[in-house]
Amino acid sequence: MTLGILAAMHDEVDDLIAAMRHQDARATVRRIGMRDYYAGELYGQPCVLVLARIGKVAAAATTVTLIREFGVTEIVFTGLAGGVGADVRVGDVVVAGSSLQHDLDARPLFPRHEVPLLGHADFAADPELTEALHRASDRFLSQDLERAVPAQVRHRFAVDAPRLHQGLIASGDQFINAPMTVAELRERLPQLLAVEMEGAAVAQVCHEYGVPYGLVRTVSDRADDTAHVDFPAFLAEVASRYSEGILRRFLEDRARQSR
Ligand code: ADE
């Protein structure tokens, strides 16, 4: 069983790649389609790590390569999201129960959000991966966060008693930073917790190949007009720590269970 782990931005995956290279002297790297795939053991689990880059096309292409070239049997996506649900705040974690493409609209030929000729709008995440990501995120927030992100950094980004959510994540080829857009999305998708730019594309490809997927996102902004302001700093100082910490908990748990 090999797990594929992908992210959209360097800071979300670089610490994991460094950890794999440190832990597994036999880890390999293969360049395919302008991306580097790192294959080896990470916290006791066979994994392939890759930077997918931003957007649905990038995520879909990378997912196909993970499945076809590396034979991964499960996929986890880790990264950032904009909080849309009323109580989803910066520093919270959202684990997807399901995901859909909020910008997919082939009306009047097909219902809004439905992937044409596939008969699906939203794609359920794998229940076991979701539960394991939920557990890992919960432990990261309650036991590791204080050490992983210094108090002054948490204070600067107003990360205060962050919470964990599970539910709908929507993806689109659009960085959302307008309250009007958020209001419209909330009206259209009342259960929506967060927006990002890749998850539902990974989910669609995983559905087509029968590969289970899980999706975990750290909330970097509220998708409003300040969304872009602290994005690079948040990515470097907070999100990278969340990604590494949550995935470490998740992989260590799996290694323990498979012993
Ligand atoms: N990823 C992080 N924040 C986002 C936003 N506001 N819109 C889309 N993707 C995001």
Give the separation between CA 213 and CA 57, rounded to whole angstroms: 17
pLDDT greater than 80 at residue 230:
no
Q: 94: Cβ below 6 Å to ligand 1?
A: no
Known catalytic membership, residue 221: yes
**Does 39 contact ligand 1 (Cβ within 6 A)?**
no
Q: Which domains does the chain have, with CATH numbers?
A: 3-257 (3.40.50.1580)
**What confidence tens digit (pLDDT) does each residue in 34-82 have?**
999 999 999 999 999 999 999 999 999 999 999 999 999 999 999 999 9
On the question of pLDDT at 117 being above 80, the answer is yes
Spacing of C-alpha 53 from chain mean position: 12
244 pLDDT band, cuts 50/70/90, is very high
Cβ of 221 below 6 Å from ligand 1: yes
